Chain A
Amino acid sequence: MTEHEQFDLLLPWRVNGTLEIEEHEQVRLHTSNCVTCRSQLRELEELRDAVRKGPVPSFDAAAGFRKLEERLAGDAAIGPVTGSARFRSLPGALRWLLLAQAAALVLVAGLFVARRIEQAPVGSEPSAPFRTLAAPRPEILGGAPRVRVLFSEGITEQELRELLHEMGGRIVDGPSSLGLFVIELDAGAVDGPSLADRVAALRGHDGVRFAELVGSPSTRP
């Protein structure tokens, strides 16, 4: 490969300004002495402008996100929350959670006490919505508690079974598009440690990325 050919390969990125300093300098030096490269640069600038200034529709990102939510809701066969107007009126994260509930996932949480850890690791940012939303509410006690869970990528079926057994829960729905499951806890687990503690323990499990108590639709006020 001649020197010209070598630098010619790099010209496109000289034109978009992304060459590393050293390469940029080499190309600049070569180009200053090479008529062909200079004319190539002009062609490439023309190409750059054509691409950059080409017509592109404007897309509505917020609407896109709502569509994603709706798509998720569509995945879910169940759940009391179907009216999109109701979604709109809620804060984003809560909307999301209700949506996931509609999608019905869930799993479990129950007897997870043994593995209880001090603090839930999920949502460790102060602003993360899960913290507050995760706080179990007493009214849920009227029915079998359900937990929405996102398992880790690497969890094996065996580990999942053990986890469920340990928790005294069973999968009642999922996975949604986002990979969330809904686990329903054995009724017997309800009068053990608080639900909050069980959910926190669940979050501490290696195989769990996210766990959130959800109200059973029939008992939610």
Chain B
Amino acid sequence: MNLEDSALLAAVAEGDVQAFEKLFLRYHQPVAAFLFKMTGRRGLVEELVNDVMVVVWQKAQTFAGRSRVSTWIMGVAYRKALKAIAKLGRAPTMVAVEPDLLVDEAGPDLDLADTERRDQIRRTLTKLSPEHRAVVELTYYLGYSYAEIAQIVGCPENTVKTRMFYARRKLRALIQPSHTAGREEGRTGSR
């Protein structure tokens, strides 16, 4: 049976455990991946996902349908991630974690320079604040629109846009060596 998310959630709200299991299986990987990308701690992820899903079970009835089910669930995950990060005292790096468990989705055809460049970008991402990083991950890992991200993180759309703008600026500053800094700026008119 291929129920829509909203139908599944409605059943969950009625206490349907089978629907809950379906929803759990459907969202496990994206939620887990997002939590991993936010916290960088694989060891934390399983428990965090389950924290998220317990909230989904408990609060399904309060889901008002103003947003998509997926943005609602990711919103729960986002808040859990921020809490976990606050508890850790910092957003840990993800690159150095348990490398044997990592699955790089990049194909073998990728050349070394590209690979290094991407690694550099990913390392730099960990230096962003969790709020800024979340916008980047939600946009490019999970593919959400800015309107959906606004729902997920609970802020106005313009705030999402400016968070992304500052995230880009910081990435650019950190990634590009000084000799090329400002190469593609154009917007600041500082020179």
- The residues of A with any CB-CB pair to B shorter than 8 Å are 4-5, 8-10, 12-13, 15-19, 35-36, 39-40, 43-44, 46-59, 61-62, 64-65, 67-68, 71, 92-93, 96-97, 121-125, 127-130, 150, 152-153, 177-179, 209-210
Contacts and interface: CB of A to CB of B under 8 A. Distances in A.
A61 B24 CA distance: 8
A50 to B, nearest CB: 4
A18 B144 contact: yes
Contacts of A153: 59, 61-62
Given A47-B140, A59-B46, A64-B50, A53 B164 contact: no
B16 A128 contact: yes
Interface string B114-145: 00011001100100000000001101110111
Given A4-B186, A128-B11, A153-B62, 6 more contacts: A43-B184, A52-B105, A52-B141, A124-B14, A178-B57, A178-B58
Contacts of B148: 18
B16 A13 contact: no
Interface of B: 1, 11, 13-19, 21, 24-25, 28-29, 32-33, 36-37, 42, 45-46, 49-50, 53-54, 57-59, 61-62, 94-95, 98, 101-106, 117-118, 121-122, 125, 136-137, 139-141, 143-146, 148, 161-162, 164-165, 168, 171-172, 184-187
Contacts, number: 179
A59 B54 contact: no
